[in-house]
């Protein structure tokens, strides 16, 4: 089920209960989420020595987060943020949460920019699972695949698209080597915190082969 490489932010449905990364028992909320059939999300960390996939579990409350691992052969379904992006037209214009309304409004504008992108975080999780994890103050988390540094014109276009939104938008840029916060890069383009499978690194150029 994992013929294509898994990437951070991919949602996975699994046939067995994940194991907490620290070896401790899973919290009760995590066990309940697994029994509900909630997906887990691929996180940035090295694979285990046995090929176990690093994942994150989430519950309905903000503080309910748990780092875990799951066997690769237990994965039954994979859903990428890009695949979720194709479903945004089904979001009602009067959806009950600002994060979903913002997603619907941004989708055609982001599509027009030409980069692959998709919702992550609570909005992506809610769209994929139907579980109630969003609330009135939820931000909209997005990932955008940008393998090469944008031109000044492309940068300005993306800034314009995100300039006026109903809720806060947290955009992560995935370069293929790691991910970073778009807002932080705009503020400090010569010192970027790049999150990789081997930990975060401060880099001068997140697109460099040395990053």
Say if CB 82 and CB 115 are below 8 A apart.
no
> What is the three-class DSSP state of 34?
helix
Q: Using CA atoms, how far apart are residues 188 and 182, in angstroms rounded to an integer?
A: 10
Q: Which residues are catalytic?
A: 139, 141
Q: Using CA atoms, how far apart are residues 52 and 164, in angstroms rounded to an integer?
A: 41
Q: How far is CA 27 from the centre of its chain?
A: 23
Sign of CA dihedral 180, 184, 189, 193: negative
Strand order in the sheet with 192-196: 116-120, 140-145, 169-174, 179-181, 192-196, 199-203
Q: Using CA atoms, how far apart are residues 162 and 116, in angstroms rounded to an integer?
A: 16
């Amino acid at each position: 089920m994992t013929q294509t490489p898994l990437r951070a932010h991919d949602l996975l449905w699994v046939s067995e209960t994940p194991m907490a990364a620290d070896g401790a028992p899973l919290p009760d909320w995590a066990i309940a989420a697994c029994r509900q059939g909630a997906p887990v999300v691929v996180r940035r960390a090295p694979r285990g020595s046995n090929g176990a996939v690093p994942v994150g579990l989430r519950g309905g409350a903000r503080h309910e987060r748990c780092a875990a691992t799951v066997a690769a052969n237990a994965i039954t379904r994979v859903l990428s943020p890009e695949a979720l992006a194709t479903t945004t037209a089904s979001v009602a214009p009067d959806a009950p949460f600002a994060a979903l309304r913002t997603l619907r409004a941004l989708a055609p504008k982001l599509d027009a920019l030409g980069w692959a992108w998709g919702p992550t975080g609570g909005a992506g999780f809610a769209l994929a699972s139907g579980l109630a994890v969003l609330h009135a103050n939820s931000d909209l988390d997005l990932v955008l695949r940008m393998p090469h540094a944008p031109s000044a014109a492309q940068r300005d276009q993306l800034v314009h698209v995100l300039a006026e939104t109903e809720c806060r938008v947290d955009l992560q840029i995935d370069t293929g080597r790691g991910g970073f916060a778009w807002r932080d890069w705009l503020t400090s383009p010569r010192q970027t915190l790049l999150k990789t499978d081997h930990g975060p690194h401060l880099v001068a150029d997140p697109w460099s082969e040395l990053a």
